[in-house]
Amino acid sequence: MKDVAIVGGGLAGLISAIQLADAGLEVVVIEQKEYPFHKVCGEYISNEVVPFLKSINCYPEHLNPVPISHFRLSDVKGQEVRMPLDLGGFGLSRYQLDNYLYQQGLGRGAEGMERTKVRAIEPSAEGFQLELSGGKRMEARLVLGAWGKRSTTDKALEREFIEKRSDYIGVKYHIKASLPHDEVALHNYPGGYCGVVKIEGDCWNMCYLGSKEQLRHYGGIEEMEQNTLAKNPLLKRILQEAEYIHDKPEVINEISFRPKPVVENGVLMAGDAAGLITPLCGNGMAMAIHGGKLLSDHIKLHWPLRKGSRDVLERSYAREWQRLFGNRLWVGRQTQKLFGNAAASGLAVKFLRNVKPAGRYLMQQTHGQPF
Ligand SMILES: Cc1cc2nc3c(=O)[nH]c(=O)nc-3n(C[C@H](O)[C@H](O)[C@H](O)COP(=O)(O)OP(=O)(O)OC[C@H]3O[C@@H](n4cnc5c(N)ncnc54)[C@H](O)[C@@H]3O)c2cc1C
């Protein structure tokens, strides 16, 4: 029996694996894909994670993260504002970052199970029994839910948010283009918004949050992009001039920003499985890293689990998670309403042009402090 089974090897799961393996626990990370792999994500990471990553010797300097010091916002007509970022961040692909953290976890003694999907999680006498793809089973004292936005495990646990449909889709490209190196840009278009940021090598990430309804209406990704993204002249130029690195984009659908319980049926959630912040805040990766740290710190504090300490662990983790992230998620949900809408995004650009402190205030509300 393992001490801890971590379901999902994204940022939240891998940070938990690294910290718990460092503390001497027997940990397994179960990931349905095989590293390295691409993921739908804007790949702009807030600098709030840098002190922590350095403290555990996991800051990936050698992968050449690109320093990002400015933010550009455009409305659906292409009117824009550029402003400095207080804290800033860096651009780095998930292909590189997740693989690097996975190798760090293995190097510190965590076991890795790739190409293995967790299908169900049931309580057992000493903890939990996991049903894996291929008919395999495994037992663990504790299970961490780090499976991201949406998974079969959400269905298996009958989580409430999974019953509600969501219209949001995410599409990601890696492109070569002639664009600024030092900024993360957020371009609105009718029905959605698209982020653009420099990542390692000579590539940029272009990733947008769009609508399933629009995709259905136009009948294909390219047709949708020509009829929606290209309405913003700045995006039109990027779409025309970009050299696409891969044949096809990465696409996900049913992205839900609804609140979720942080602990469900005894499974402790971290990262997007605990709550997904809207991408316009550019901060989900930092929250996943911070959440993985928070969860593993709590487990270390209560380990080994005795009678009653499981309840205390669940309660104190859920409370601290709400304190750290609850407000950010709420502000993100409210701000999201301004985007992808002609009038609201136009007003937002004008307002930020004229009232510079307002932009800073909004960023502070949706971003965390270095930890
Ligand atoms: C369009 C879009 C753009 C974004 N842009 C940014 C950005 O620029 N900056 C930023 O900070 N955040 C951004 N985010 C948010 C960010 O991507 C997430 O918050 C972050 O990836 C969460 O990490 P995680 O570890 O919780 O989940 P993930 O990184 O999604 O990892 C979950 C892992 O679990 C695996 N998995 C799932 N189910 C199972 C299963 N049943 N068994 C085994 N494995 C399983 C998956 O394969 C995956 O590898 C964006 C999100 C979207 C939708």
| Sequence ranges of the domains in the chain | 2-366
pLDDT at 157: 96
CA distance 282 to 204: 16
pLDDT along the chain (371 residues), means of 10: 98 98 98 98 97 98 97 94 93 98 98 98 96 96 98 96 93 97 96 96 97 97 98 98 97 94 97 90 91 98 91 97 91 77 77 74 74 95
Amino acid 153: pLDDT: 98
- Ligand 1 center from residue 291 Cα (angstroms): 13
Q: What is the atom index within ligand 1 of the atom nearest the CA of 116?
A: 43
Q: What pLDDT does 365 receive?
A: 67
The CATH classification number of 2-366 equals: 3.50.50.60
Q: Which residue has its alpha carbon closest to ligand 1 atom 41?
A: 118
pLDDT at 366 (0 to 100): 66
Q: How far is the CA of 256 from the centre of ligand 1 (A)?
A: 12
Report how far ligand 1's centroid is from the alpha carbon of 252 (Å). 11
pTM as predicted: 0.96
Give ligand 1 pocket residues (Cβ under 6 A).
Answer: 7-13, 30-33, 39-45, 117-118, 146-148, 151-153, 170, 195, 207, 209, 255, 271-273, 276, 279, 282-286, 288
Token duo for residue 359? 């932009």
Q: Are 180 and 142 in contact (CB under 8 A)?
A: no
